[in-house]
Chains A and B, each alone.
Chain A
């Protein structure tokens, strides 16, 4: 019995050592100018981007096999890094995890099929794309945020003064304390959740086919709101000042009206999903 246990332990240690031997780390550092553009195209694996110090882009890549290589190109204001899959690579052996530090004013473009994708504390433009990747963006301001996923869930937290455009077929989209001049979410079957005050002078459009839409706002929100679901139900917790619309509001399937000074425009549109405008 004791001998069998020893054999098992040795086997596990050998396998762990082999796995560790296959894992390699690569570090890259690039000096860049103001408002640099950083692009990471990764087929499989995580990408995390945070602000660093100075005008340097620092990239740490962890490779899990020899079936993937890292290519890069650089100019004064642009850094592009690619995971280059070799013959026979798959989601495991082709995986590369990136940890990236960039100047806070850099614009980043990230792509990973599987993700996850994480960006925080930047104020440049952010473009994220992933098929099933989980996307998480937090504490960013003053930039365009474009996110596209097929089924990956998308979460944005503490986004101020942004221009937000999210398209996802089946991924749930959660926006927490997100405001800006434009906040558009387009989903097919994913749910859309918004929790915030809709800022001021913004254009908010949350649209889905079958996914439910839930918007939570404080009583002081200043909005002109239109909500409509062709086949689903529509509810609101707020009394609204009625206004003229291009359609006839019908209790339970559509409503329109204003709150406060109607600073921001809010459209909540679903074809067959439920819509609920909740009071916080």
Chain B
């Protein structure tokens, strides 16, 4: 039982080391998908927008981590 609990904690920690960072990364992908589906964003600029969004999420995540 203890092993299973530790396994569940490891899996959770793998993807949610920082809730804000995880939520922001998911939001960036979600917004890109929505933009593509509604034709607000074309397939050509989308990769660059997502890459930029992830970069911004990383920068803010690091700054937030440093301030804690």
- Do the two shown chains form a genuine complex with each other? no
- Give the A-binding residues of B (Cβ under 8 A): none
- Give the B-binding residues of A (Cβ under 8 A): none
